[in-house]
Chains A and B, each alone.
Chain A
Amino acid sequence: MTDVNDVPKVERPPGVPMSQWPSAYEYVLPTGAPGTVTLTIDGREVKAQTGDLLIKVAQDHGTYIPRFCYHERMKPVGMCRMCLVEVEGMRGMQISCATVVADGMVVHTQSDAARQAQDGVLELLLINHPLDCPVCDRGGECPLQDTTLAFGPGESRFVEEKRHWEKPIPISELVLLDRERCIQCGRCTRFADEIAGDALIAFGSRGAHTEVITFPGDPFTSYFSGNTVQICPVGALTATPYRFRARPWDLSAVETSCTTCSVHCRGALESSSNRLVRLLGVDSEPVNHGWLCDKGRFGYEVVHSEDRVRHPMVRKNGELVECSWPEALDVAAEGLKRALELNGPKSVALLGGARGTNEDAYVWARFAKGVVGTDNVDAQLGDGIPAEVALGLPEATIADLDRAAAIVVVGLDLKEEVPVLYLRVKRAAEELGVPLIELAPRDQGLTRYASTSIRSLPGEQGETARRLADALGGARGTDAGADAAAALLEGRAGDIVVVLGRGDLAESAASTVRAATELARLPQARFIVALRRGNVRGAMDLGLAPGFLPGRVTLDAGREWFGHAWGSVPATVGLDAEGILRAAEQGRIHALMLLGTDPHDDCPDHALAEGALNAAGFTIAIDAFVTDSTKRADVFLPVTMWGEKAGSVTNLEGRVQRVGQKVSPDGTAMPDWRIAAELALRLGVDFDLEQPEEVQDEIARVAPAYTGIDSTLLRRARDGAVAPVADHRDELVLGPVSIPLTDARWEPIRPGLDAVELEDAKTANDEADALRADRLTSVAQSAGAPPAPALHRFTGGVTDTAPPARDAYALRLVTGRTLYDGGITVAASDSLSELVADPVLLISPQDRDRIGVEDGAEVRVTSARGSLTLAVRADAAIGTGTAYLPFNLPGSGVSDLVDLSTAVTDLRVESLS
């Protein structure tokens, strides 16, 4: 045996990140020049692109070749051998999933030899597959069942005992593995490795003993683990929340958008007996590629939580007691009227709205601004990005990431906040070779894939962004990191897509605004503003932001237009969330509406929120749960949640998509917008809105950025519509565009599950053209209407103040959101609430040694605002001089430390031992 020492040394190319190394599977992937080839499949001549895979070409032309391991969104691997076909002139059978089409190829998928091969493979796969279909979650929608029925032998020659394993074993809190059922297609392991980047599962052992393994003590805790359950072609992987809840034939589905975060992945929401039981990812090309994160996938459990408020309540003798809707609405309206009469509209404020639909946001905005007359309205809680920035930056779509010259991620940890956007950015960087420049205070999810990472201390983000923008703009030489980033762009044309978010809630938003201002100077910069809250973008777009009216127009610009449409608008620009809370604390808010928001837990400045909630006058809670904030309400109006109401939502790229109703609510909860309409009626204004479609049509009529996005378009547009639709007309896909393969429902589920696609393609396309042309026209001008206002543009000009110098003993606090946090979606879901981690203060190893504490020791953390005691751990991902604490984890108390009015938060960390 050769000693490994004798092997000649190979120099590794220096400085080439792992993401740019050639893929392990590249040998099957074609690299031919683009062109068209002609081949014959089952006697039919078809055309295909050079480099296309045979299985895909056949499918696109209506020939379904059975397969298990092949998945359109992953690289082919050729493990299951199910897709064997006969190719004339090639010896033996070819696996069509790894065979590249060639000119003149003659393929037989149904010849005797091919059928015999398919029979043989299926018989082999079934040798060890248990026939426990009646108890298997996959039974009834199982690709192996379906394929066996369609292509397999009826009988097996195998009469011996099958292989046995302990079943099922948990490989994480959410996923169970039944190794007996596994057919070793490698979909789950490839997904974990290639797509999610968390290769926590792998194949172990060999031959008939091959099994999917996790490393002992290292479970499959990927944020994307649920996708492996969806793509498993047998019932080997099952999800604990769905396990045995229903069988496929008693499910019914509606296509919807997940609103757990602001990416709005498409999904098929399924229910059985009026209970939501499952959300499956739908393969939407512009958004989620079929993937979901686990929080989104299993977050539906919150809808059926025992703690839901089912009937309206009013406060009587200090207690919230159930009452009728008319009574609750009367009390709420009376409270508002009293505040208006005594103190005027400026004493009324509305917080929240990011949890609802666009219809909710619009009708509440119309109620607050057009009826009550207050502009003290904010869908964020001092933890976001001001609307004048978020709504005014030049926009990029998610799909633009794939063809960008470079991607710049500013601040936030995409993996924790918007996980599926993380997958898209990761794919663009890793697979498509788009340079990824990361600007963050610490190492986070994307750092592994970043071409270059620029670290900045909290408060210095604006300055770092300035240097980066200078370098990208051509002025080099000031900063080595920025120069390195700029060098990556050489020879690359296209836009620079900036993903902008708040990486640190302990530093003031001005820092992020400054970074945006600096980067927006670049002419090729376009932005994706990544705020996490479900429909925060829709809420801001439709007027739930101070100084804005629906459709991305400022109060001043839209005064005349909305004055005509609504009757009246507020006289002056109102307060944002921080201002509202401060005013409330000082007793200047006499009526406060909490629209699905929890400032007590969700505002970075806890002392401010607590003071404000205590001092606020009449409080109306419009929510589904009694939280620390809404328990103080004088009137509690229960609302329907996602899955219980239809409507539309706008994601972080401005894409308006539908959400569907699948179940009816327990109790008498109403959609948020109905409540606003009812209150308006009691204040003397009849909105005359009965159905969500009517609200959509009104939005399309009056909100300038949403011109043309009416109920018809929303119903017909397969992938939704990006607002303003006039700028994205070409992206609209209407009517039937492909023939859905009904026998491959488990394959990437195509969008259009419930779209009106009954017409034949010709008519539909004609109609689609007409519909598209229709969107060209501006807002329908009625007689006497003023000219439509221009959309708001962010012109920069907001400056941040330089942060105070950090003294040598202090650590600067970084606090960001984690996926499984203290929010109600997690807390009220049985499966997800188990996954919340204990809060730990993370500091750099150098700082740990300086402070002189052990990992796991308790420390006292003190800021100018307050102090708390918690465990500490060193982590090399944290920069020296900073300390990281996750935001809004139960027990973390980080909001006790933060003062919203300061630029940064400095901490003293003392050892308690």
Chain B
Amino acid sequence: MGKFSGFGITLKQVFKKPVTTRYPKEKRPKPERFHGRHVLNRYEDGMEKCIGCELCAGVCPARCIYVRGADNPPDAPVSPGERYGFVYEINYLRCIHCDLCVEACPTEAITETKLFEFSFAHRADAIYTKNELLVDDEGHAKRQPWELWLGGEDDETSAWMRATSPSGAAAYEGRIVWSSELGVGYRQPEQGQRRKKAD
């Protein structure tokens, strides 16, 4: 008996429903705050949100962000205010998708999408420049030639947002603290933990 008891387990499994997802034909829904590839957002009027302040680069634990600011040309400003992000590069060979850059950004310029299907065959492709990170005129991430997109995740660029107000006070929960955005507009605030408890 002893030598067949192992087959019992196998037989049991045969009749169980498999847990394997038939990726890439079907996809599991991603968590709300999934950390995928970054995008640089724009305001509804098309202006870039990035002001080149380098706070993201300063906070990055992997040192994968390189930013340089420059004076906004007065006749054709790139962003509102004096300064804009003149150079913006993320090295995805180093990025650990910790999202500290998103936390640090004072203008919600950099956010992470749910896009994860990007791989590269060349080191140079791993460095995403501003041209590649900036959202297109509809507010969507721009697809790069080497990225494998299977669809479904690129609709919303700024899937992550602060759960609470900048000041961190619970009284601000549920209030919109997100500036309007190209193609997406104002985002509804996330539910905080308090309401979940009440449910």
Question: What is the interface of chain A, defined by CB distance below 8 A to chain B?
Answer: 132, 134-135, 139-140, 167-168, 243-247, 249-250
Contacts and interface: CB of A to CB of B under 8 A. Distances in A.
A165 B25 CA distance: 58
Interface string B102-115: 00001100000000
B58 interface: yes
Contacts of B106: 134
B53 interface: yes
B57 interface: yes
B82 A167 contact: yes
Contact of A247 (B53, B71, B81): B53
Given A132-B81, A134-B106, A244-B70, A139 B58 contact: no
B52 A250 contact: no
B53 A139 contact: yes
A244 B58 contact: no
B181 interface: no
Given A134-B106, A134-B107, A250 B81 contact: no
A249 B54 contact: yes
Given A132-B81, A135-B69, A135-B81, A247 B51 contact: no
B83 A250 contact: no
A246 to B, nearest CB: 8
Interface string B61-86: 00000001111000000000111000
Given A135-B69, A247-B54, 19 more contacts: A132-B81, A132-B82, A134-B53, A134-B55, A134-B107, A135-B53, A135-B81, A135-B82, A139-B53, A140-B58, A167-B82, A243-B71, A244-B52, A244-B69, A244-B71, A244-B83, A246-B68, A247-B69, A249-B58
Most buried by B among A132, A168, A245: A132
A90 to B, nearest CB: 38
B82 A168 contact: yes
28 contacts: A132-B81, A134-B51, A134-B53, A134-B55, A134-B106, A134-B107, A135-B51, A135-B52, A135-B69, A135-B82, A135-B83, A139-B53, A140-B58, A167-B82, A243-B71, A244-B52, A244-B69, A244-B70, A244-B71, A244-B83, A247-B53, A247-B54, A247-B58, A249-B54, A249-B58, A250-B54, A250-B57, A250-B58
Nearest to B169: A155
A425 to B, nearest CB: 38
Nearest to A249: B58
Interface residues on B, range: 10 to 19
B58 to A, nearest CB: 5
A139 B69 CA distance: 13
A135 B106 CA distance: 10
Contacts of B82: 132, 135, 167-168
Contacts of B83: 135, 244
Nearest to A139: B53
A174 to B, nearest CB: 15
By Cβ-Cβ distance, the 4 closest A-B pairs, closest first, are: A134-B53, A135-B83, A244-B69, A247-B54
A25 to B, nearest CB: 36
Contacts of A140: 58
Interface in B97-155: 106-107
A431 B54 CA distance: 44
A250 B65 CA distance: 12
Nearest to B70: A244
A247 B86 CA distance: 14
B144 to A, nearest CB: 25
A167 B107 CA distance: 20
Contacts of A167: 82
Contacts of B51: 134-135
B68 to A, nearest CB: 8
Contacts of B57: 250
A168 B57 CA distance: 26
Interface string B35-56: 0000000000000000111110
Contacts of A247: 53-54, 58, 69
A246 B83 CA distance: 12
Most buried by B among A132, A140, A244: A244
A881 to B, nearest CB: 50
A863 B184 CA distance: 77
Nearest to A240: B71
Nearest to B81: A135
A135 B83 CA distance: 6
A132 B82 CA distance: 10
Nearest to B54: A247
A244 B71 CA distance: 7
Contacts of B69: 135, 244, 247
Most buried by B among A135, A140, A247, A250: A135
Nearest to B71: A244
A249 B63 CA distance: 12
Nearest to A140: B58
A865 B55 CA distance: 62
Nearest to A132: B81
A245 B87 CA distance: 11
Nearest to B53: A134
A77 B121 CA distance: 64
B120 to A, nearest CB: 24
Nearest to A247: B54
Contacts of B107: 134
Most buried by B among A132, A245, A247, A249: A247
A243 B71 CA distance: 8
